[in-house]
């Protein structure tokens, strides 16, 4: 991946603690989407929802502040923001002084929007505000306890099938999603939630498909788009949403959402986040 040869991911990095927007590194979305044959009009809309847990800066009087930052990047932006570069960027605020949290938010909003190539939405949460948020839960069907024998761990979208039955609205989810970073080969762990309207998706086939991604390489955003495309091609639902909530790495969690019918959900952490 020559486009990542200058990215900080997978390299030893110096931790800068004075504001340094030049640390941010863009990765063109088009490069990953070529392999999915996603050209022209996208079959989905959505966003990448980031939560940063390591944001700190100094008040004008020198006292440190800590907070969480939530970033929403539209999936239509030209670039994703390479995760380690975002970690380094957020850490660069640590010894810089600002009047208040809103000043920090405005700077982050401008910097990330410039790198992404489209306006982003940024919210800074105090620890009290973050603690008051409810934990994610689902009223759908968890497939993780199905009594299945699984004998393949190689990516296979053909495992996705539908069953006979009337068109209905359904929701399936699994906490067993694992994939690998295409640069470092480190495992990424997550929960995937699929909401749809169409022929019933076979829960056993869905579980086998999720497990087939266990050794598959892709950035978080690419994995969720891969799942959306595979579900659309194999099961042809009229309506489809895919949400991936990945556990944090480097003080960040990334939660891509893609849908052809509904807006992105609220940012509610899973128990592993």
CA distances from 19 to 104, 140, 161 (A): 10, 43, 50
The verdict on whether residue 47 carries a ligand-binding annotation is: no
Q: In whole angstroms, what is the distance from residue 183 CA to residue 5 CA?
A: 10
Please state the φ and ψ torsions of residue 137, each to the nearest 5 degrees.
-150, 165
The verdict on whether residue 250 carries a ligand-binding annotation is: yes
* 6 tagged catalytic: no
Please state the φ and ψ torsions of residue 87, each to the nearest 5 degrees.
-60, -50
SS3 113: helix
The verdict on whether residue 70 carries a ligand-binding annotation is: no
* 78 tagged catalytic: no
Q: How many CB atoms lie within 10 A of CB 165?
A: 8
Catalytic residue among 48, 75, 111, 188: 188
Tokens standing for 216? 């598959």
The verdict on whether residue 83 carries a ligand-binding annotation is: yes
First to last CA, the chain: 29
Contact predicate 229/25, CB 8 Å: no
CA distances from 135 to 66, 76, 110 (A): 21, 28, 30
The verdict on whether residue 34 carries a ligand-binding annotation is: no
The verdict on whether residue 258 carries a ligand-binding annotation is: no
| DSSP state at residue 9 | T
Catalytic positions: 181, 188
Q: Binding site for NADPH: what residues are annotated?
A: 83-84, 249-250
Q: Binding site for substrate: what residues are annotated?
A: 81-83, 220-221
Q: Binding site: what residues are annotated?
A: 81-84, 220-221, 249-250
């Amino acid at each position: 991946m020559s486009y990542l040869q200058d990215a900080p991911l997978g390299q030893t990095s110096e931790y800068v603690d004075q504001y340094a927007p030049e640390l941010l590194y863009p990765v063109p979305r088009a490069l990953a989407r070529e392999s999915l044959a996603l050209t022209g009009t996208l079959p989905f809309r959505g966003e990448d929802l980031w939560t940063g847990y390591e944001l700190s800066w100094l008040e004008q009087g020198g006292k440190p502040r800590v907070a969480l930052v939530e970033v929403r990047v539209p999936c239509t932006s030209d670039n994703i923001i390479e995760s380690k570069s975002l970690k380094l960027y957020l850490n660069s605020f640590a010894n810089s002084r600002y009047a208040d949290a809103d000043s920090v938010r405005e700077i982050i909003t401008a910097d990330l929007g410039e790198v992404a190539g489209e306006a982003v939405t940024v919210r800074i949460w105090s620890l009290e505000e973050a603690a008051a948020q409810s934990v994610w839960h689902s009223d759908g069907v968890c497939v993780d306890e199905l009594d299945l024998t699984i004998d393949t761990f190689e990516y296979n979208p053909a495992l996705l099938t539908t069953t006979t039955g009337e068109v209905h609205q359904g929701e399936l989810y699994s906490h067993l999603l694992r994939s690998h970073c295409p640069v470092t080969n480190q495992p990424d762990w997550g929960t995937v939630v699929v909401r749809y309207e169409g022929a019933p998706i076979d829960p056993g086939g869905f579980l086998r498909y999720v497990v087939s991604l266990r050794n598959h390489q892709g950035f978080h955003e690419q994995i969720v788009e891969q799942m959306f495309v595979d579900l659309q091609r194999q099961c042809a639902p009229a309506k489809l949403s895919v949400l991936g909530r990945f556990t944090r790495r480097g003080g960040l969690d990334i939660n891509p959402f893609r849908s052809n019918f509904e807006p992105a959900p609220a940012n509610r952490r899973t128990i592993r986040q």
